[in-house]
């Protein structure tokens, strides 16, 4: 194209380019809608307008990144979670829709009744869980930890954008909260077993941080660490919520039930009827 294309022409070019080179066929529209902050309807309304020169250059580079497997969320630095927009880059995992079900379960079991719960989010990543809980339950006091200072920097940026007051701390598991007790602990830790690499999407392996994905002991390592120390950090009537892998319900259920200080253990299924959430309540 000699002249800068219209949005319609640019999308057609991108579609043909992706057909030839591979990549997410939905990416071209998402790239434009996210960068222009348009709805799909608004995009259609602008179909006949021409891209500015710098837009066309950026769009071609972005489509090249798409064909190399890079997730569109890392290209636009935007990911939607629980109806809100979060900043993401390769320092953190991209929030998943399955994790929204974890939020919903926490909110369902803890109504907005004005209680000032003390909450700990272990392995906060982008901060999506901690920030969402704070916005949905403003009375809660939320602490969020992560072993990665890079991830914490992203989480802090998101908290600032959403004007959510979170106490961020650097450390693995409970390292940064020694001597503190909480009413509710939530974690979406690394839970993929090393032998499951071959089953994973290549773009996840290539672009998302492995420290946030993989765990030893068939993916159970961090859950067991949490279970072993739960009595020290959870109040006597406290609750634990963890996102888990779809095959991890039975072994984790058995492990947590062995702990004499835990009264109730429940494995909750997601909308696809896969084991997705571990809920444990203290005696």
Could you list the residues known to form a binding site, using ranges. Answer: 123-127, 146, 188-191
Q: Are 166 and 128 in contact (CB under 8 A)?
A: no
Binding site for S-adenosyl-L-methionine, by residue number, is 123-127, 146, 188
Query: 229: which 2 tokens?
Result: 């120390």
Q: Is 234 left (phi over 0), alpha (psi -120 to 50) or beta?
A: beta
Q: Are 239 and 257 in contact (CB under 8 A)?
A: no
Binding site for substrate, by residue number, is 188-191
Alpha carbon distance 150, 18 (integer Å): 32
Other residues' Cβ atoms within 10 Å of the Cβ of residue 110 = 19
Alpha carbon distance 214, 199 (integer Å): 13
Of 107, 110, 99, nearest to 238 (Cα)? 110
Q: Determine the 3-state secondary structure of 111 from DSSP.
A: coil
Alpha carbon distance 87, 32 (integer Å): 17
**Torsion on CA atoms 154, 156, 160, 164, rounded to nearest 10:** 120
Element (H, E) at 162: helix 149-162
Of 171, 167, 218, nearest to 190 (Cα)? 218
Other residues' Cβ atoms within 10 Å of the Cβ of residue 53 = 10
């Amino acid at each position: 194209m000699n002249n800068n294309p219209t949005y319609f022409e640019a999308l057609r070019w991108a579609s043909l380019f992706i057909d030839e080179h591979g990549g997410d066929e939905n990416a071209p529209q998402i790239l434009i809608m996210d960068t222009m902050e348009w709805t799909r309807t608004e995009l259609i309304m602008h179909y006949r307008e021409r891209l500015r020169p710098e837009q066309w250059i950026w769009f071609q580079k972005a489509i090249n990144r798409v064909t190399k497997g890079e997730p569109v969320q890392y290209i636009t630095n935007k990911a939607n979670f629980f109806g809100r927009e979060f900043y993401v880059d390769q320092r953190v995992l991209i929030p998943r829709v399955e994790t929204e079900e974890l939020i919903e379960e926490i909110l369902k079991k803890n109504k907005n009744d004005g209680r000032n719960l003390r909450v700990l989010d272990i392995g906060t990543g982008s901060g999506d869980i901690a920030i969402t809980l704070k916005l949905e339950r403003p009375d809660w006091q939320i602490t969020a930890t992560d072993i990665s200072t890079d991830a914490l920097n992203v989480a802090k940026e998101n908290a600032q954008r959403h004007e959510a007051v979170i106490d961020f701390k650097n450390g693995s598991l409970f390292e940064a909260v020694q001597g503190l007790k909480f009413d509710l602990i939530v974690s979406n830790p690394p839970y993929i077993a090393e032998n499951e690499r071959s089953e994973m999407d290549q773009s996840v392996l290539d672009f998302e941080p492995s420290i946030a994905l993989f765990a030893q002991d068939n993916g159970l390592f961090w859950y067991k660490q949490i279970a072993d120390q739960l009595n020290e950090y959870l109040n006597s009537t406290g609750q634990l919520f963890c996102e888990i892998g779809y095959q991890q319900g039975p072994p984790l259920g058995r492990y947590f039930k062995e702990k004499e200080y835990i009264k109730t253990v429940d494995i909750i299924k997601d909308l696809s009827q896969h084991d997705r959430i571990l809920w444990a309540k203290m005696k």
